[in-house]
Amino acid sequence: MIFPFNAGHGGLFLIDITENIIPIPPTATALGFFDGLHLGHMKVVEECFRHGGLCPAMFTFHSDTALPKRERIENLLTNDMKLEKLAEAGVQYIYSPDFNSVCDYTARDFIEKVLVKIMNAKVVVCGFDFRLGAGGGSDAEELKCICREYGIKVVIIPPFSLDGCVVHSTAIKNLIKSGEIAKANKLLGYDFSIEGRVIEGNRIGRTIGSPTINQRFPENIVMPRFGVYKSVTYLDGRVMPSVTNIGVKPTVDYKDSPLAETHIMDFDGDLYGRTLRVSLLDFIRPERRFDSVGELKAQLDKDKITAKQ
C-alpha cells in the first residue's frame, strides 16, 4: 500500500507493505537512520536529486524505533517533523519500517527484499559510515559490491565538515545537552524544536506578568540542558519571539518529568489544547531555584530583555 503524507508540502508518499507490494517508479534511494536530517544527512538526500529520470526516495527507520545498543532513543526530530522536512525537500517515496522487521536481514537479503523489490532502486546513496545486515556486519563498500550484481549504482557520500567540525548526530546531541544550542542549530541547518500539545499549568506566570504555555517534553527527543532559552513560537502562521524554560520548575511547581514552559512576548491568549512548535535559538542561563516568587519575577523580566537583544 502507498499513501500520501499530508504535510502540505510536495508529494511525499509512504510505503506500507503490510498488505501488498505496489510497484513504484525507478528510484534513487537514500539509506540511513537520519535521526536529525542535519547538514551531513542532507548531503546524502540531495545526491538523490542528481540522477535524472529517477524518483528521489528514502529507506529509513521510524524515529521511535529502538535501535541496538541504545538505552534511550535520542532523536533530533520527531517522526512527523522528519517527514515534513523530507516532503519540503522534495523526496517522493519513503519506506520506514520498524527496525525489528528487518534487523535479521543479511546484506544480500536487504538488497533483494528492500532495494530491489520494494524501492525499485537503480541508484543507492549512503553515508561513509553506513552499516547494514544483521548486527551491522556489512559496510558501504560491501553494499556497493553486492549492488553491482543487481545493476544498482551506489554513491557513498564522504564526511561533511563545517567550521572544522565533522557534522555528525552525536556531536550535535552533545552540543544540545550542554546548552550550546546556537552551535547545534548551525550544524543542523535549522533550529532545534519542540512540538507538543499545550497543557494546563499552575497559572502562576499570569500573576507575575509572564503568562506561559506548558508542553510535555516529547519522548525520544534529545533533552537539552535545563535552563532558559531565547526561542520563537510558531502560532497561526506567525513567528512569535519567546523565552522558554526547559526543566522541572524548581521554584513554584517542581515536576518529576521535564517540561517546556514558554512565555510568548506580547501575547496573552488562551492556547490550551493547541499543538505548537517552539524553536530554541540561544541559551540564556541555567535553570535554578529562587527563594521567592518575587525573585523569580525579577529574573524573568531580565530574561525577557536578554531574549529581545
Report the pLDDT value the prediction gives residue 282, as an integer from 0 to 100: 98
CA neighbor of 113 nearest in space, from 87, 146, 141: 146
Q: Name the CATH superfamily housing domain 168-308.
A: Riboflavin kinase-like (2.40.30.30)
Helices (H) and strands (E) in the chain — how many of each?
8, 17
The answer to whether the CB of 290 falls within 8 A of the CB of 254 is no
Report the pLDDT value the prediction gives residue 126, as an integer from 0 to 100: 95
The answer to whether the CB of 296 falls within 8 A of the CB of 208 is yes
Helix axes 181-188, 169-177, angle to 10 degrees: 160
CA neighbor of 90 nearest in space, from 54, 64, 61, 38: 54
CA neighbor of 202 nearest in space, from 240, 241, 255: 255
The SS3 call for residue 171 is helix
Reported as type and span, the H/E element at residue 103 is none
**C-alpha count within 13 angstroms, C-beta hemisphere, residue 41:** 25
Grid cell at residue 12? 511525499
Report the pLDDT value the prediction gives residue 7, as an integer from 0 to 100: 46
Q: Under CATH, which number does the domain 2-158 receive? A: 3.40.50.620
The answer to whether the CB of 135 falls within 8 A of the CB of 122 is no
pTM comes to 0.88
Distances (CA, A) of 13 to 7, 92, 95, 168, 274: 11, 6, 9, 27, 27
Phi, psi of 167 (to 5 degrees): -75, 115
CA neighbor of 134 nearest in space, from 145, 126, 124, 142: 142
The position carrying cell 554513491 is: 155
CA neighbor of 36 nearest in space, from 91, 82, 90: 82
Report the pLDDT value the prediction gives residue 43, as an integer from 0 to 100: 97
Q: How far apart are CA 113 and CA 126, in angstroms?
A: 18
CA neighbor of 261 nearest in space, from 228, 308, 221: 228
Which residues of the chain are in CATH 3.40.50.620 domains? 2-158
State which amino acid sits at residue 9. H
Q: Is 230 exposed, middle or buried (0-12, 13-18, 19+ CB in 10 A)?
A: buried
Q: How far apart are CA 243 and CA 305, in angstroms?
A: 10
Which residues of the chain are in CATH 2.40.30.30 domains? 168-308
The SS3 call for residue 197 is strand
Report the pLDDT value the prediction gives residue 288, as an integer from 0 to 100: 84
- Could you report the average pLDDT of every consecutive run of 10 residues in the chain (309 residues)? 49 65 89 93 96 94 61 82 91 87 87 94 95 77 94 96 92 97 98 94 65 88 96 96 88 71 90 95 92 80 90
Report the pLDDT value the prediction gives residue 9, as an integer from 0 to 100: 46
